[in-house]
Every structure is written in C-alpha cells, then in structure tokens.
Structure 1
C-alpha cells in the first residue's frame, strides 16, 4: 500500500507534490508518520514534507475531535451512557490508566490519531486537552519518522 501511495505522490506535478503529501497526512493509518516518510522518499525536502504531513494530520484530527465532541454533547444531553463494546472498553481502561497524554502519545502505535482522539473525547475528556496532546503526538511522530527517513532508516519494512 505504501509503495502505491508513494507512486501516486510522485505522479503529481512538482508544484502540487506538497498537496499530495498534505492529503496523505490527513488519511487515517497514513497520517504524519507515513506522510512525512513518503514525502521525504519521494524527493520533497524534509523541511517541507514533514510540516505538510503534520498539517494534514492535524486538520483531519481536529475534524474528528470536533465531530465527536458535538455528537457526545447531543447524546449525553438526554441519555445515560450506554455499555461499551469490548474494543472500546479496552481503550477506556488504557485511558483511565494513562490519561489523555499517555493515550495520545502512545495510541498512535495502535490506532490512527483521528480514531484515538474521537474515542478519548467520547469518554468525556476535555476537548482542548485532547487537541493539545494529539498535536504534540502528531508532531513528535511526524518529526521522528521523517528524520529517520532522511537518514535512510527503514523502520516500516
């Protein structure tokens, strides 16, 4: 999948190359970490590829957070909280153990930031706190993976 996405990014005209990386950064499971790697490996300067992939990921995550916050507000207005599915229960237990910061920073190893952030907000965490820690996490993972790609470290093989 990564090679086909990289080929798509390379097929864009040079002046739209960064737009392709921005779009890739917004896609769950590609996000800032793969987006920055694809940008660097496809010839874009790391000083452009990494921030653009991070920007796409942040915009996408914000859409999920604001959406989840709005839905939770409407649902919780008139009802009691429904029972959690086994998967959501597992995430909720990790959230209770590690808090917003821990789940935000480590959650990207398991789930996309968009899904993780929406789940955290649905558990009742502060929307602004989730946004802050998710942005920190997105920047951290994007920079780390982009720098590794610059130096030729193949972590994802």
Structure 2
C-alpha cells in the first residue's frame, strides 16, 4: 500500500457518487468532527474537495440549526416559567457565570469581549459549533443572529481546513 488510507479510499470510490457527500454531511453533524473535520476526512478519502466542503458545511449547519431551534424553545419555556424575566438582549449576567464550567466561562468571556461575531469565529478553536450555538441561544442571543454568525464560522473554518487538506493530499500523494 502506498498510503495508509488506500483501503478506505478504494471503498469510498466504490460508493455511488450521491452517497459520498451524504457520508461527509452526516460526519459533519458530529460535535468535534464538525464541517472542517468531515471535509478533511472526505478529501483524504478521495471525495472531490469542493463537494466534500459543501457537504460538510451543509451537514454542520443543519445540526446547528436543529440545536438552535431546540434550545430556543427551551429558553422560551424557561423564561416564561420565570414570569418573563430576562429579555432577548443578548447576554447572561456575569454573576451567573461563576457557577458555570470552565468552557462555559471561557465562552461567556469571549461573548462579552468580542460579541457574537467574534465569539462565533473564535469558538470553533475550543468548542463544537453545536455547543456554542446552544450556549448563545440559552444566553438570550436571538436565534437569527446565532445562525448567521455560526454559519459564517462554519463556512470560514471548513473552507480553510478543506484548502489545507487539499494541499496536504497533493503534497503527500494520497
């Protein structure tokens, strides 16, 4: 075998062309794999880089869309149960962050410091987009804003990693 992935590449090549991007999209729905991981894996396994990137973006975004829809409904019920406390302004109070886990405190700090755009673009370095989106929505950020900036982050990171993976595959001859 000339590459460690040769057997998997041959198996992927035998799959119908429609199934290949579906597999990449499903992989992109998995937290921590995300769009960038799924695109990179798809490219290394022989899926066309553009097809892999688009499928990964779509799969990752669909999972974020589902998480935002669910967490938005949960937040609405919680707020209604409290008698309408907490507006749709955007952020949780700093006092509430003292009881949160380390990752939640870090994300709240990014949200306070960089706003939704900056935190959305930085968060994939540490947390899955699904968790980030749920946190933002639970914090009171409007779901449309969360979806817009998470979409931008998914596209940006997936394209960057797909470009790097395409170059890596070319250099290593996979």
TM-score (norm. length: structure 2) = 0.78
Matched, 1:47 2:63: no
Structure 1: 5+ residue runs without aligned partners? none
Structural mapping, 1:17-28, within 5 Å? 17-28=20-31
Separation in structure 2 between the aligned mates of residue 93 and residue 48 of structure 1, nearest angstrom: 36
TM-score (norm. length: structure 1) = 0.86
Map of 2:134 onto structure 1: 118
- Structure whose CA Rg is larger: 2
Equivalent residues, number: 151
* CA drift at 1:66: 0.9
* Aligned CA-pair RMSD: 2.6
Separation in structure 2 between the aligned mates of residue 101 and residue 63 of structure 1, nearest angstrom: 20
Conservation of the 8 A alpha-carbon contact between 1:65 and 1:117: yes
Map of 1:108 onto structure 2: 124
Per-residue displacement from partner, 1:107-141 (whole Å, max 9, x unpaired)?
Answer: 00000000001101111111101100000000000
Conservation of the 8 A alpha-carbon contact between 1:12 and 1:20: no
Cα distance, 1:55–1:12 mapped onto 2, change above 3 Å: farther
Structure 2: 5+ residue runs without aligned partners? 87-94
Conservation of the 8 A alpha-carbon contact between 2:13 and 2:46: no
2:168 counterpart SS class: coil
